[in-house]
Amino acid sequence: MEERYAIEMRGICKSFGSVAANKDVNLNVKPGEILALLGENGSGKTTLMNMLSGIYKPDSGSIFVDGQEVSINSPEDAKRLGIGMVHQHFKLVDVFSAADNIWLGDDKSGAVLKKDRYDVIRDMAKKFGFDIDPRKKVYNMAVSEKQTLEIVKVLYYGAKIIILDEPTAVLTVQETVKLFDVLRRMKAEGHAIIIITHKLNEVLEISDRVAILRKGEYITTVDTPSTNEQQLTEYMVGRKVELNIQRPVVEKTRPLLEIRDLTIKNDEGALAIDHVSFYIRGGEILGVAGIAGCGQKELCEAIAGLRPIEGGQMIHKGDNIVGLPPKAILEKGISMSFIPEDRLGMGLAPSMSITDNMLLKKYDQSKGPFVDRKTGRAEAKQVIADLEIVTPSTETPVRRLSGGNVQKVLLGREIKAGPNVIVTAYPVRGLDINSSYAIYDILNRQKQDGVGILFVGEDLDVMMGLCDKIMVLCHGKVMGVVHAHKTSKEELGLMMTGALDLSHKYEDKPAGIAKDSRIGENEEVEE
């Protein structure tokens, strides 16, 4: 007898306008199995899974649940069929308690809300081995707590098939280990699990089989024990890829940017950066690691002059830059590029062309009242050529480009201005392997030219390969600065959660202050 699949997709096609997101995709999962869905960004992984969760409808193809053909027209259908999805961007109502977020989709209880729902949820979570506080509001939760809540939610609705979209992207190493334990336990209980990811080491660690998509097309499904990183990468990218990040050794200069005792508040008025000191030399990449929302954004904004600071000093080549307008900071050669989660939110005007985006930072340098588009276009052409940006023309609106190309435009413009300090946050966020390596190359070339780079990142493997030193932030405090080639993921993970504090490792030297600083330890820079 043929083995029954918990879920099977056959010949699934889905297009958005003229873009084919999925072409003839086949996929199946057995109960008690973990399937990894692997693919670069934009390969259609999330689209495919959203057809199981009822967000999209396939244009053609069929879906079988437990051998029965089904049509999933809405999330409600998916829920009824026992399919639960933990989305990458959590689908939680921030102002509701944990229990209410689950209660929202509950069909069993009566019309009036009763207090006992908190106990029901707590008991149910305990049964599955989770510890959640049902009264805790979502906005007070850490990312890993929100994820746990999402998993409890789909289990409460009786999901047999659980889909997780990039679940580890927001977790620390230790939290990932915990999550994998949970997944293994659910697998043992007979759940079918699909995990979307582009991290190869995780695929090899957790999955039983791997299905690979490339540019919307189904490539193959392989058994995990019989494959390796190199093979998976080739399937994913379509050709051989060198997986080592370069870290050229460059002669370092004296500190370019020195941050002393910096304190910044976030939008809610809480401390985002708490008495932080560090410095960046020319010719080095200083990585900033930390769980999302640990003050990275506020730090970048403060350096660029976009956010007022509460206290402390920011010194660039011996000059105070606190209180300077963003434009003046820019003219000193400090460039900031921040790629937010939606990737288009900051730095570029999405509906404007590449040329116009190039001109954004220097529109006032042209003579006369008219915009000098000619030089802008020439610069755009050069950036397109230098960074191998794929675009129909220099006049294409930026939002029409793919994510990698958008980010290249942003970095390209920043580099074009000839900065001596580059602050870049998540420059490879959401990019595929090829584009990511292109960005690393760009940064390395800048480093070799003597530029000091502050690299705020999320992938520890990448940071350990690319950066010279890594500074770890935890709730706005520096947990220490370590040499990238001497540290380990475990050490960084412990520092990110605040369990390990190396900030006072060297007693003879105050933390975060260079020996060859341009100013003394307690010296104030003149305004």
Partner 1 sequence: MNDPINVLTLFLFNIVLINIPLLYGTVGEIVVEKAGSLDLGVEGTMAVGAIFGYLAGCAANSMVVGLLVSFLAAGLCGALFAVLTVSFQANQNVTGLTITTFGLGLYFFVGKGMGERWPAMTVASALVDGFTARELPLLSKIPVLGKVFFSQNLLVYLGVAVAVLVWWYLNFTKTGLRLRAVGENPGAADSVGVNILLYKYVHLIAGSGIMGLGGFYMALNMSGSFEGSNCWINGYGWIAIALVIFANWNPVMAILGTLVFGFFNTLQIYSGALAGAFPGGLGWLNAVPAQLFKALPFIITAIVLIASSVRKKEGSGQPAALGLNYFREER
In the complex with partner 1, which residue's Cβ is closer, 105 or 129?
105
**Least Cβ distance, residue 402 to partner 1 (angstroms):** 13
111 binds partner 1 (CB under 8 A): yes
* Binding residues among 249-268 for partner 1 as defined by CB under 8 A: 267-268
Of the listed pieces 51-59, 180-188, 293-301, 372-380, which binds partner 1 according to CB under 8 A? Answer: 51-59
* Residues whose CB falls within 8 Å of the CB of residue 488, separated by 6 or more in sequence, listed in order: none
Among 4, 16, 319, 486, which residue sits at the site for partner 1 (rule: CB under 8 A)?
A: 16
In the complex, what is the shortest distance from the CB of residue 176 to partner 1, in angstroms, rounded to a whole number?
A: 24
Q: How far is CA 74 from the centre of its chain?
A: 28
Q: Residue 108, by phi and psi: left (phi above 0), alpha (psi -120 to 50) or beta?
A: alpha
* 159 near partner 1, rule: CB under 8 A: no
Q: Does 112 bind partner 1 (CB under 8 A)?
A: yes
Q: 232 or 406: whose CB is closer to partner 1? A: 406
Phi, psi of 8 (to 5 degrees): -140, 135
CB-CB contact of 192 with 27 (8 Å):
no
Nearer to partner 1, 163 or 494 (CB): 163
At 28, is the secondary structure helix, strand, or coil?
strand
* CB-nearer residue toward partner 1: 399 or 485: 399
Binding span for partner 1 by CB under 8 A among 105-113, 252-260, 382-390, 396-404: 105-113
Contact between residue 199 and residue 26 where contact means Cβ atoms under 8 Å apart: no
Q: What binding mask, one character per residue, do residues 76-95 give for partner 1 by CB under 8 A, x or -?
A: x--x-----x-x--xxxxxx
Residue 360 interacts with partner 1 (CB under 8 A): yes or no = no
Q: What's the min distance (Å) between Cβ of 320 and partner 1?
A: 31
Nearer to partner 1, 96 or 130 (CB): 96
Least gap, CB of 79 to partner 1 (angstroms): 5
Which one of the spans 110-118, 211-219, 250-258, 413-421 is the region binding partner 1 (CB under 8 A)?
Answer: 110-118
**Number of residues lying near partner 1 (CB under 8 A):** 34
368-395 CB burial, b ≥16 within 10 A, e <16: eeeeebeebbebbeebbeebebebeebe
Q: Which two tokens stand for residue 468?
A: 């010279």
Q: Given candidates 96, 118, 130, 180, which one binds partner 1 under the rule CB under 8 A? A: 96
Q: Closest distance between partner 1 and the C-beta of residue 48, in Å?
A: 14
104 binds partner 1 (CB under 8 A): yes
Smallest distance, Å, CB 149 to partner 1? 11
Beta carbon of residue 223, minimum distance to partner 1 (angstroms, whole number): 32
Nearest-angstrom CA–CA distance, 203 and 37: 9
Q: Using the rule CB under 8 A, which residue among 2, 18, 249, 269 binds partner 1? A: 269
435: Cβ contacts below 8 Å, ≥ 6 apart: 403, 404, 405, 407, 408, 428
Closer Cβ to partner 1, 91 or 327, answer by number: 91
Q: What is the rounded CA–CA span in Å between residue 290 and residue 496?
A: 5
Q: How far apart are CA 383 and CA 527, in angstroms?
A: 37
| Cα(119)–Cα(122) distance, integer angstroms | 5
Non-local (6+) Cβ contacts of 1 within 8 A are: none
Residue 28: count other Cβ atoms within 10 Å of its Cβ: 18
Query: Which of 60, 71, 74, 230 is close enough to bind partner 1 by CB under 8 A?
Result: 74
Nearer to partner 1, 139 or 363 (CB): 139
Rounded-to-integer distance, Cα 162 and Cα 183, Å: 10
The answer to the question of residue 116 lying near partner 1 (CB under 8 A) is: no
- In the block, tokens 């910096």 appear at 262
CB of 15 to partner 1, least distance (A): 12
Please give the residues from 132 up to 151 whose contact with partner 1 meets the rule CB under 8 A. Answer: 139
For residue 363, state whether it binds partner 1 (rule: CB under 8 A): no
Q: Minimum distance from CB of 285 to partner 1 (Å)?
A: 33
Strand order in the sheet with 209-214: 68-70, 60-65, 7-16, 19-29, 217-223, 209-214, 33-38, 192-197, 161-165, 83-86
Spatial distance between the Cα atoms of 247 and 79, rounded to a whole number of angstroms? 48
Of 448, 445, 447, the residue nearest 421 (C-alpha): 447
- Asked if residues 46 and 205 have their Cβ atoms less than 8 Å apart, the reply is no
| Of residues 87 and 408, the one with the C-beta less far from partner 1 | 87
Q: Which is nearer to partner 1, 407 or 420 (CB)?
A: 407
From 37, 173, 196, select the one nearest 464 (Cα to Cα). 173
| 56 vs 437, beta carbon nearer partner 1 | 56
Residue numbers of the site for partner 1 (CB under 8 A)? Answer: 16, 53, 55-56, 74-76, 79, 85, 87, 90-96, 100-101, 103-106, 109-113, 139, 153, 157, 267-269
